[in-house]
Structure 1
Amino acid sequence: MKPAVWPIAALLAGYPIWWALGLGGLSIVVVAVPMAVVLWRRRPIKVPMGMGLWFLLLAGYAISAVTLAANPPGTYGDLSTGRILGYLMRLAIYVALAITVLYLGNLTLDELPQLTLVRLLGVLFITTVAGGLLGVFAPGFQFTAPVELLLPDWIGGNSFVKNLIHPTAGQVQHVLGHASPRPEAPFEWANAWGSNISVLLVWFVVGWWTYGGRWRRVAVAVLLPLAAIPIVYSLNRGLWIGLALSAAYLAFRWRPLVVGVAAALAGGALLLSPLGAIVGQRLDNPHSNDIRAFTMASTVRAAATSPVIGYGNTRNAYGNYSTITTGKTAWCPTCGHPPLGSDGQLWLTLITQGLTGAALYVAFFLGAIRRYWSDKSPIGQAGTLVMFLVLFYMFVYDGLVSALSLYLISFALLWRNAAQRQAPRRARWAHE
């Protein structure tokens, strides 16, 4: 492997190590440093079409720092260390993601073949399945990471930071009316695990089945049924809908009959297994709907008071959907005032960067779909599917931190694929 490729290989193949160190989601910021060095040595730097929208999003977020001390109506809180930390962490991640896209696009295909990058994402899928199974069968597994030991309490004790640096296998919640595990390893929380496995599944199938030899295809045949266990136990309706949308997309763009038969067989096997009962119970217990409706409506109202630059970070709302008084109790130590923007990247962008930021975020991924839709190759179709999933998940999942890394790497794959297709055409024109 070429030396310049090590940062992305270390990020994807080495993710379990980052997670164990307490740097799982933040590993993108760490590896962005050597990526930036590689870019600096390769000037002038190629920039993909549409990347200007991400730079504008980044610039807008930098400007939103001026409103960190303000509180929109219906929210409370002082300009605390936690609010500043959250802002700086998100800013660092946005910068690191931009560096990652430019780094991947400026590596040559000889240094980093497309298939190598796709298969590295497949390795992370295997890690995610393993972490999901750990979360199902040992949800209480957790440990203190080295990063936690090094950080002072005023940083490590912040709830947002602790979610990122403290390795846990799963969350035990009462979604079904009784204690049930929801896997999250090796990511920061259960919803992140849900969105990430659906994106990684796309690349795993492309790299290990479509372009795979016999042993890789055997691995796919073994791992997909195993992945169904944590996918069902995640109780994650957004993930389930995302998988259904993926099947519909493939049926539309690929082979409707093949995809339809495969989906019917998978659905029949699920319903006939014990996992089908869990799906039914989850659909009968939509306990989070009222909470989501309250926070979304509150987020929109708050964003309307600063529509151009937002408020830089999330805010806590007064009350919840049923009462004006909420907080921690002996039986619910994690309860409290709901943070605005916590129910999806669209809502997070609205509260942090206003309507302008939300429009730029949507335009960035919509532009990628429009630009690369004509790419009929497996990588092109898979990348476009991921862009669709991003636009769906923004309503239900917070993209920060690990999910956005996968979204932007998928964008870089599309950009690299387009450049690979155009290279022979340019060579032919030069010859003529």
Structure 2
Amino acid sequence: MRGPAWPITVLLVGYPVWWALGFGGLSVILLAAPMAMVLWRRRPIRVPRGFGLWLLLIAGYLVSGLMLAEMPPDTYGDFGPGRLIGYLMRLALYVAILIMVLYLGNLTESELPQLRLVRLLGVLFVTTVAGGLLGVFFPSFAFTSPVELLLPDWAAGNSFVQNLIHPTSAQTQKVLGFSLPRPEAPFEWANAWGSNVSVLLVWFVIGWWVHGTPRQKALVAATLALAAIPIVYSLNRGLWIGLGLALVYLVVRLGGRTRVALCGAAAVAALVFALSPLASLFAQRLDKPHSNDIRAFTVSATVAAAAHSPIIGYGNTRNAMGNHRTITTGRTQWCEGCGHPPLGSDGQLWLLIITQGFTGAALYVAFFVGAIRRHWGDRSPIGLAGVLVMGLVLLYMFVYDGLVTPLSLYLISFALLWRNHLGDVS
């Protein structure tokens, strides 16, 4: 907590407190202020290669605000406070994350050692597992946060804002033909929990297993065994695919005894899992891909709407006319499943396409592809892990929204890669 690195410690270790207060993923906006002060004192500021793409992404988002009042065909909704709040919150997050990356890259190794930053992410992984277990065993746990009490009704009642400021342990959805809780604590959505737990797992293993003592390795093994419970109960196919591809990546890129040991450990873990009660739930979820039709509808509607403003998008999401079952524009007594899904709600790629057009989506993809290309040759544990996370970002953009918390973790991982390169250069 001493020295200029305290804001990142407060962000990662103190995240459960931020969540309980109602700030959660928005805490990075508050902590961007002291981070900016550190940067101001350290001018000139170092900037990573490829960061111009992120600046262009933010500039494009500013321009897309000109389209907030416009409505693409086959969508509806009024230009009101909710749309403006969502736009401003996303803009604030983009800027805060930019500041955070520059802040991390301009701290010296003595001020913030790489291993300490990795282990801070590992601490947040333990918090995430604890939140996941809370969602599995106490799915109705929720409370009104101080931020929620202080906000006016018109702001707190906005669905996007409500998810950010109202702490809940699980998100109940009808997935296997009946309602089931999917863990989300301490994050804003069940899908955000799935994305975050996989990214944090990577750094947890690097920090506390690869660089750990025998006792720490035993604790890692126990924590990963516990993590399997909420990971399976999350019913999150994107998360499962991501973990499977991460294993394939490591088998391909690691060599010698490490590869053999990894394959052996994976085989033992798979056998134990197959003999456990979790295997049945896993099989049921794979057998009932209930969300495929919903995703297909929203993705096609998103692309169709964005085609009317392909360069700068519409600044924020819009509501689609009808859904995958009906042309009805809202839920009714006789059609509880009609609803109107927000466009761009099924992945960061689709969100960027509707909010910033195809240009914004291309900039986002280019930023992370460039990071992989530049750091592919870094075969250190942090280098291998960072490139893996960049690959997961490109996978998850098809199924998970990056905002709010996932994008912060993606860019902290990017900062770790950058800092590793700076260490090599020095």
What's the TM-score, normalizing by structure 2? 0.97
CA distance change for structure 1 residues 347 and 266 in 2, over 3 Å: closer, same or farther? same
Whichever residue aligns with residue 268 of structure 1, its letter is L
SS in 2 for 1:4: coil
User: Which residue of structure 2 lines up, in the alignment, with residue 398 of structure 1?
Assistant: 401
Equivalent position to 2:276, from 254, 273, 278: 273
Cα offset for 1:285?
Answer: 0.9
Q: CA deviation at 1:98?
A: 0.3
Deviation for aligned residue 1:270: 1.2
Partner of 1:72: 72
Change (3 A) 1:253 1:142: same
Equivalents in 1 of 2:339, 2:261: separation in Å? 48
Q: Which residue of 1 aligns with 2:38?
A: 38
1:26 aligns to 2:26 (yes or no)? yes
Residues 109-258 of structure 1 mapped to structure 2, 5 A cutoff = 109-255=109-255, 256-258=259-261
User: How far apart, CA to CA, are the structure 1 residues paired with 2:325 and 2:153?
Assistant: 34
Matching residue of 2:343: 340
CA contact (8 A) 1:25 1:401 kept: yes
Partner AA of 1:308 in structure 2: I
Shift of 1:333: 7.7
Structure 1 residues 116 and 330: CA distance shift in structure 2, 3 A: farther
Asked whether 1:88 is paired with 2:91, we answer: no
> Cα offset for 1:326?
4.2
Query: How many Å separate the matches in 2 of 1:215 and 1:368?
Result: 34
Task: Tell me the secondary structure at the aligned position of residue 220 of structure 1.
Answer: helix
Counterpart of 2:291? Answer: 288
Q: Deviations over 1:101-157 (max 9, x none)?
A: 000000000000000000000000000000000000001000000000000001010
Moved more, 214-223 or 309-318: 214-223
Unaligned runs of 5+ in 2: none
Q: SS of 1:238's equivalent?
A: helix
1:422 aligns with 2:413: no
Q: Alpha-carbon deviation of 1:180?
A: 1.6
Contact 2:28 2:96 in 1 (8 A): yes
Structure 1: runs of 5 or more not aligned: 424-432
* 1:223 positional shift: 0.2
**Aligned-residue offset at 1:2:** 3.5
Distance in 1, matches of 2:213 and 2:2, equals 24
Distance, in Å, in 2 between the alignment partners of 1:177 and 1:215 is: 43
2:413 to 404, 410, 414: 410
Calculate the TM-score normalised by the size of structure 1. Answer: 0.96
Q: What does the per-residue CA deviation read over 1:74-96, in whole Å, with 9 as the maximum and x for residues that have no partner?
A: 11112111000000000000000
The yes-or-no answer on 1:361 pairing with 2:361 is: no
Q: Tell me if the contact between 2:323 and 2:338 (Cα under 8 Å) persists in the aligned partners.
A: no
Give the structure 1 partner of residue 63 of structure 2.
63
Alpha-carbon distance in structure 1 between the residues aligned to 2:307 and 2:333: 36
For residue 278 of structure 1, report the CA deviation from its aligned partner.
Answer: 0.2
Q: Compute the displacement of 1:376 (Å).
A: 0.5
Q: Does the 8 Å CA contact 1:2/1:111 hold for their aligned counterparts? A: no
Deviation at 1:294, TM superposition (A): 0.3
What's the secondary structure of 2:400's corresponding residue?
coil
Other-structure match for 1:349: 352
| CA distance in 1 between partners of 2:384 and 2:8 (Å) | 22
The one-letter amino acid of 2:269's match is A
Identity %: 70
The count of residues paired between Structure 1 and Structure 2 equals 423
Contact residue 311 and residue 352 of structure 1 kept, 8 A = yes
